[in-house]
Structure 1
Amino acid sequence: MRILLHDYGAYGFIVQLARWLAEQGHMVLHLRSGDLVGPQGATQRRHDDPPGLRFDTLSIGRPFARYALHRRVPDEIRYGHRMGRVIADWRPDIILSANTPPFAQAVAMRAARRHGVPFVNWVQDIFSEGAGAIVARLPRPIGALALALLHHIEYGTMRAADGVIVISPEFRDLLRRNKVNHPDLLLQENWASPAPAIPAGTDWAAAQGLAGCSLLLAAGTLGLKHDPGLLAELALAVGDDPAVRVVVVSQGPGRDYLSAWAAGRDAPLVLLDYQPAADVYSMLASAQIGLVLLTAAAGGMSVPSKVYTYAAAGLPILAAIPPGNHAARLIQEQGLGLVVAPDDPAGFIAAAKRLLADADLRRQCADAGRAFSARHGDMTVIGGRFQRLLTEIVVAHPRAGGRLPGLPPGPESDYLCALALNPQAPAHGGRQAVDPDTLLTLARAQGMLPLLGQALIMRGGKPDERLRAEQIQQIQRILALGAALLEILAALEAHSIKALALKGPALTLLLRQDIALRPCLDIDLLIDPGQAMAAATILTEHGFVPTLDIAIDKLVMVSKDCLYRRGNIAVELHWRLFDNSQLLGWTFEDLWQARAIVSLNGQAVPTLSARHYGVYLAVHGIRHGWQRLRWLVDMGLLLADPAQRSAIREQAALDGFEPALIHTALLARDLLGTVLPEETGWQENWRVRAINRGVEMLSTLLARQPSGRGGWIRRRLTEKWLDLLLCNSLKAVAMEIRMLMVGTGEITDIELPRSLFWLYPLARPFLLARRIWRRAWGQRAS
Structure 2
Amino acid sequence: MRILIHDYPGYAFPVELARALAHRGHVVCHVHFSATIGPKGTLARMPDDPETLEFLAIGISGTYRKYSLLHRFLQERAYARRLEQAVRAFSPEVVISNAQPDIQARLLATCQDMGIPLVHWLQDLYSTAIGNILKRKCWLLGALAGAWYRHVEKRLISGCAQVVCISDAFASEMKDWGIPDSHVVRIDNWAPLADIPVMDQDNPWSGQYGLAGVDVVLYAGTLGWKHNPALLENLALALKERPKTRLVVASEGLGASWLAERKVEQGLDNLVLLPYQPEESFAAMLASAKVLLAILEPDASAYSAPSKILSYLCAGRPVVVSFPPENHSAQLLSGARAGIVCSSGDDAGFIAAVKDLLDKPENAADLAINGRMYAERHFRIDEIVCAFERVLNHA
TM-score (norm 1): 0.49
Q: Give structure 1 stretches of 5+ with no counterpart.
A: 394-782
- Quote the offset at 1:133 in angstroms: 4.7
2:263 alignment partner in structure 1: 262
- 1:26 maps to 26
Is the 8 Å Cα contact of residues 159 and 182 (structure 1) preserved in structure 2? no
Q: 1:345 to 1:142 in 2, by over 3 A?
A: closer
Q: Summarize deviations over 1:315-339 as a string: whole Å, max 9, x none.
A: 1110100000111111111111101
Query: C-alpha distance in 2, partners of 1:143/1:283?
Result: 38
Report the equivalent of 1:125. 124
From the superposition, tell whether residues 140 and 212 of structure 1 become closer, same or farther in structure 2 (CA, over 3 Å). Answer: closer
* Offset of residue 137 of structure 1: 6.7
Q: Report matched runs for 1:135-534 at 5 Å.
A: 135-136=134-135, 141-195=140-194, 197-201=197-201, 202-267=203-268, 268-393=270-395
Residue in structure 1 matched with residue 39 of structure 2 by the alignment: 39
Query: What residue number does 1:768 align with?
Result: none
| Greater relative contact order (CA < 8 Å, ≥ 6 in sequence) | 2
- Answer whether contact 1:168 1:189 (CA < 8 A) is retained: yes
- Given that 2:296 and 2:324 are in contact with CA atoms closer than 8 Å, whether structure 1 keeps it comes out as yes
Tell me the equivalent position of 1:50. 50
The DSSP-based 3-state class of the residue aligned with 1:225 is coil
Q: Could you say if the C-alpha distance between residues 377 and 35 of structure 1 is closer, same or farther in structure 2, counting changes exceeding 3 Å?
A: same
* Structure 2 CA distance for partners of 1:342 and 1:86, relative to 1, 3 Å: same
Q: Separation in 2 of the partners of 1:122 and 1:244?
A: 40
- In structure 2, distance between residues paired with 1:346 and 1:141: 33
**Separation of aligned partners in 1, 2:83 and 2:367:** 42
Partner of 2:353, secondary structure, is helix
Amino acid in the other structure paired with 2:39: P
Measured in 2, the distance between the counterparts of 1:353 and 1:369 equals: 19
> Highest Rg: 1 or 2?
1
Distance 2:299 2:381 in 1: 33
| Whole-angstrom CA distance in 2 between matches of 1:52 and 1:257 | 44
**Alignment partners' CA distance in 1, 2:181 and 2:276:** 37
> Is the CA contact 1:36–1:63 (under 8 Å) kept in the aligned structure 2?
no
1:195 counterpart SS class: helix
- Higher helix fraction (1 or 2): 1
CA distance in 2 between partners of 1:346 and 1:199 (Å): 31
Q: Would you say the 8 A contact 1:133–1:224 is kept in 2?
A: no
Count of aligned positions = 392
Cα distance in 1 for partners of 2:192, 2:279 equals: 15
SS in 2 for 1:130: helix
Give me the whole-angstrom Cα distance separating, in 2, the residues matched to 1:18 and 1:139: 41
What is the deviation of 1:41? 1.0
Once residues 162 and 63 of structure 2 are traced to their aligned partners in structure 1, the CA distance between those partners, rounded to angstroms, is 30
Counterpart residue type for residue 291 of structure 1: L
Contact 1:194–1:370, Cα closer than 8 Å, also in 2: no
8 Å Cα contact 2:211-2:288 kept in structure 1: no
Q: Does 1:14 align with 2:14?
A: yes
Distance verdict in 2 for CA 1:338–1:143, change over 3 Å:
closer
State, as a whole percentage, how many aligned pairs show the same letter.
36
TM-score by length of 2: 0.96
1:257 & 1:142 partners in 2: Cα distance? 26
Within 1, Cα distance between the matches of 2:227 and 2:194? 28
Q: Distance in 2 between matches of 1:349 and 1:166?
A: 33
> Does the aligned pair in 2 maintain the 1:222–1:254 contact within 8 Å?
yes
- Distance between the aligned counterparts of 2:325 and 2:357, measured in 1? 19
What do residues 597-651 of structure 1 show as CA deviations (whole Å, max 9, x unaligned)?
xxxxxxxxxxxxxxxxxxxxxxxxxxxxxxxxxxxxxxxxxxxxxxxxxxxxxxx
What are the ranges of 5 or more consecutive residues in structure 2 without an aligned counterpart?
A: none
SS at match of 1:131: helix
For residues 354-388 of structure 1, give each alpha carbon's deviation from its aligned partner in whole angstroms, at most 9, with x where no partner exists. Answer: 11111111111111111111110111111101011
> What root-mean-square deviation, in Å, do the aligned CA atoms of Structure 1 and Structure 2 show?
1.5
* 1:90-115 deviation digits (Å, cap 9, x = unpaired): 110110102x1111111111111111
- The one-letter amino acid of 1:159's match is S
> Structure 2 CA distance, aligned partners of 1:122 and 1:234?
35
**Cα distance in 1 between the residues matched to 2:370 and 2:257:** 34
**Could you say what secondary structure the match of 2:320 adopts?**
strand
Could you tell me which amino acid in structure 2 is paired with residue 70 of structure 1?
Answer: L
Answer 1 or 2: which has greater strand percent.
Answer: 2
- 3-state DSSP class of the match of 2:182? coil
Classify the secondary structure of the residue corresponding to 1:157: helix
Q: CA deviation at 1:144?
A: 3.3
1:142 is displaced (CA, Å) by 4.6
The alpha-carbon distance between structure 1 residues 366 and 141, as it changes in their structure 2 partners (threshold 3 A), is closer
CA contact (8 A) 1:97 1:121 kept: yes
